[in-house]
Amino acid sequence: MKTKKKKMYPSFWTVLAIVVALFLFNAVLKYSSGLGKNNSAEKTILEFAGQNGFSLSDYPDDIVEMLVLNDETEKFVVNYPYKSVNFKPDKIDFSQYADCKEPPILMQWDMRWGYMQYNGNVMGLTGSAPTALSMVAVYVLHNMSMTPVHIAEYSIGSNCESRPEKLLSDGARNMGMNVTEVIRNNNRLKQAVTEEGSAVICMMKSQEFSPVIVVRGVDENGNFLINDPSSKKRSNTSYSFSELNTGIKKIWKYSPIS
């Protein structure tokens, strides 16, 4: 009598062991990649600190993380220990933007204002709203005094630091702009962006962008050009509406009061 051959399937425990091993291998790869970036940032900071009488302990974790996530911020980060202490901004000259044809690109970690205290930290980390509104106000109002420092000081005095929606709506109206909310729709956004003399701000919920960005134009392919106050790279990239849409919380259009 012939005996049936048993089908050789791996046991439950063998399968489980393989799954766990793959999971751990993937986790180690991710950790190693992140650790490499972190080590690179710390090395950059330590080299500068050693030459200038500082140590790694003079740099808060969120400042170190800033460089880990964005190497554009290197100069801002390494200079943190002595620039952030009792920081007082100098007079800022925005005359270069007097005849700008679109909202200028400004970074919240610009050393002229990035060390200013705002909403519990330095503006380099927390100042996306005042920086974005500065870009818009300079363009819409042709007012070169509307620097990120001026907007941040207004925000602090108006109790808007932790309420960016209030700053971007009521605050902007008090500065002399018409502010209207825009429906989250591709055609509506394009219409608002391309209207002469107007500018658009989006409040974002996606961590792929800053909490507040400016939409400054539309390219030849119908994609949107943005000013992201925490990233020059993103500010030099165009995005389709679908790429922006999932991260948008609110949209406002700003125009001069006629």
- CATH at residue 228: 3.90.70.10
**pLDDT per residue over 62-104, tens digit each?**
999 999 999 999 999 999 999 999 999 999 999 999 999 999 9
What domain range includes position 156?
A: 95-256
Give domain status of residue 21, yes or no.
Answer: no
Q: In this predicted structure, what is the pLDDT of residue 31?
A: 44
Residues 63 and 157 in one domain: no
Percent of the chain with pLDDT over 90: 83
Q: How far is it, in rounded angstroms, from Cα 23 to Cα 162? A: 40
Residues 130 and 225 in one domain: yes
Give domain status of residue 84, yes or no.
Answer: no
Residues 54 and 123 in one domain: no
Give domain status of residue 35, yes or no.
Answer: yes
The DSSP-derived string for 6-64 is: PP-PPPHHHHHHHHHHHHHHHHHHHHHHHHHHHHHHHHHHHHHHHHHT--GGGS-HHHH
Give domain status of residue 89, yes or no.
Answer: no
Q: Which pair of tokens denotes residue 127?
A: 């100042």
**pLDDT per residue over 177-236, tens digit each?**
999 999 999 999 999 999 999 999 999 998 899 999 999 999 999 999 999 999 999 999
Is the pLDDT at 36 greater than 60? The verdict is no
Determine the average pLDDT of the residues in 109-124.
98
Residues 119 and 173 in one domain: yes
Residues 231 and 194 in one domain: yes
Q: How far is it, in rounded angstroms, from Cα 83 to Cα 26? A: 40
Determine the average pLDDT of the residues in 122-128.
98
19 pLDDT band (50/70/90 cuts)?
A: low
Q: How far is it, in rounded angstroms, from Cα 114 to Cα 107? A: 8
Give domain status of residue 26, yes or no.
Answer: no
Count of the separate structural domains present in the chain: 2
33 pLDDT band (50/70/90 cuts)?
A: very low
